């Protein structure tokens, strides 16, 4: 990205320099009425057309730091207001370039003026144009690229950490079993621990594969009709063993016969993760309720528990990969920290969304809102097959 911007910037600087040179050879000098200083010709013909097609923010300054031309992107980001360049760092660079004629490159952070950003990071290139003090400023927004790089670094670090724990435990347990070969009880106990860590490693790898497959928020390649009742039944069937072990009752309710347009396997995966979480964070002898209801052009699937709830300050982060409200409890229950991230991406892949309501000590409710098949959430009798429900 940085190299491509430098190449583009070099090409633009060269092209504009040629335009300025050709136009200024025969351009009559003009005098600034304010101070009588010769400033050269106005913006040459053709320069505005070049700047208009640039994807980056572009600004041309005259000899007195006034803006001769600014792209719409430059104004949208707040770099230019009226005929003034608002970023002090850019203005200082422009003055240095005007003094010594050397092209300069840098990175700056500007207070956000677009899409609610707090700050916007720019890669900038400043070059002289013509012989009358004009300066070209090119600024490429690289905020999103930096954010993606930060997410990638965090993801790699988190994966490395999460993999080290079960792999290290398996190695240690294997050595322990070797040393305890003459103690059958110890071998049985440590072998059980190895099975637990191996299962945890398997779940983590499976979740990573699932997440990598859907995290691009791209549309499902081969969507089809999905019966919500069947998806809920399959998800509950996957989670029933854990629920029985804690004497937690899994209850279904709401409107039957609703359908969405999507992928049944992904939907079951999302529901299984929500139900698994509800069971893991609920006390014994409670209930987890899965309810379905029509919502205009969407179908809402809610999973409610009577568990410990989520602190308000953590609600905005719970869909982040590897984020855990209670890391110790999550690892004790075998959680990978990827379940809710998978749910979020499954919702996005279906052009839907997931939301959460929670109160500490009162439980949580996660709601998937997905587009209904046919554009309207209408119950279809179970006797009508999927192919006929059109």
Overall pTM surpassing 0.85 (yes/no): no
CA distance 387 to 96: 70
Beta bridge partners of 135: 61, 128
Residue 304's nearest CA partner among 290, 325, 285 is: 290
What average pLDDT does this structure show over 42-66? 74
Evaluated on CA atoms 286, 290, 291, 296, the torsion sign reads positive
- Is the CB of residue 104 less than 8 Å from the CB of residue 90? no
Helices (runs of H) and strands (runs of E) counted in the chain: 10, 14
The tens digit of pLDDT for each residue in 212-260 reads: 777 765 667 778 899 999 999 999 998 998 899 999 999 999 999 999 9
pLDDT at 141 over 50: yes
The mean predicted confidence, pLDDT, of the chain is 79
pLDDT value at residue 175: 87
pLDDT value at residue 361: 84
| Token reading at 311 | 């602190």
CA distance 303 to 119: 37
**Is residue 10 very low, low, confident or very high in pLDDT (cuts 50, 70, 90)?**
low
CA distance 50 to 117: 28
Cβ burial 336-352 (10 Å sphere, 16+ → b, else e): bbbbbbbbbbbbbbbeb
pLDDT at 330 over 70: no
CA distance 290 to 270: 13
Angle at alpha carbon of residue 256, lines to 246 and 293, rounded to 5°: 85
The tens digit of pLDDT for each residue in 336-366 reads: 678 898 899 999 889 899 999 998 888 999 9
The tens digit of pLDDT for each residue in 295-311 reads: 999 999 999 999 888 88
pLDDT value at residue 382: 60
pLDDT value at residue 274: 95
């Amino acid at each position: 990205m940085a190299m491509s911007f430098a190449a583009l910037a070099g090409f633009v600087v060269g092209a504009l320099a040629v335009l300025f040179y050709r136009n200024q050879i025969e351009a009559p000098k003009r005098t600034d009425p304010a101070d009588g200083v010769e400033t050269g010709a106005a913006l040459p013909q053709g320069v505005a057309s070049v700047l208009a097609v640039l994807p980056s923010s572009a600004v041309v300054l005259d000899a007195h730091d006034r803006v001769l031309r600014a792209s719409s992107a430059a104004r949208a980001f707040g770099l230019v207001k009226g005929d003034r360049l608002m970023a002090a760092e850019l203005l200082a660079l422009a003055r240095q370039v005007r003094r010594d004629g050397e092209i300069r490159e840098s990175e700056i952070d500007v207070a956000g003026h677009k899409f609610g950003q707090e700050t916007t990071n720019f890669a900038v290139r400043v070059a002289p144009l013509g012989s009358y003090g004009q300066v070209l400023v090119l600024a490429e927004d690289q905020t999103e690229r930096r954010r993606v790089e930060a997410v990638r670094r965090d993801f790699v670090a988190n994966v490395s950490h999460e993999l080290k724990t079960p792999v290290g435990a398996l190695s240690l347990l294997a050595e322990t079993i070797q040393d305890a070969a003459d103690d059958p009880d110890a071998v049985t106990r440590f072998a059980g621990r190895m099975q637990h860590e191996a299962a945890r490693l398997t779940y983590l790898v499976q979740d990573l594969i699932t997440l990598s497959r859907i995290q691009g928020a791209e549309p499902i390649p081969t969507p089809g009709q999905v019966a919500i009742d069947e998806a809920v039944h399959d998800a509950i069937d996957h989670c029933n063993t854990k629920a029985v072990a804690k004497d937690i009752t899994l209850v279904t309710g709401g409107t039957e016969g609703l359908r969405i347009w999507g992928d049944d396997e992904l939907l079951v995966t999302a529901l299984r993760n929500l139900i698994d979480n509800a069971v893991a964070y609920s006390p014994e002898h409670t209930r987890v309720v899965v309810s379905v209801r029509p919502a205009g052009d969407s179908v809402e699937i809610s999973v409610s528990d009577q568990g410990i709830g989520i602190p308000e300050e953590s609600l905005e982060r719970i869909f982040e990969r590897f984020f855990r409200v209670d890391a110790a409890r999550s690892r004790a229950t075998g959680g990978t920290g990827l379940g809710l991230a998978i749910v979020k991406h499954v919702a996005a892949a279906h052009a839907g969304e997931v939301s959460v309501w929670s109160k500490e000590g009162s439980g949580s409710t996660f709601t998937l809102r997905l587009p209904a098949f046919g554009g309207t959430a209408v119950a279809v009798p179970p006797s009508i097959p999927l192919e006929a429900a059109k």
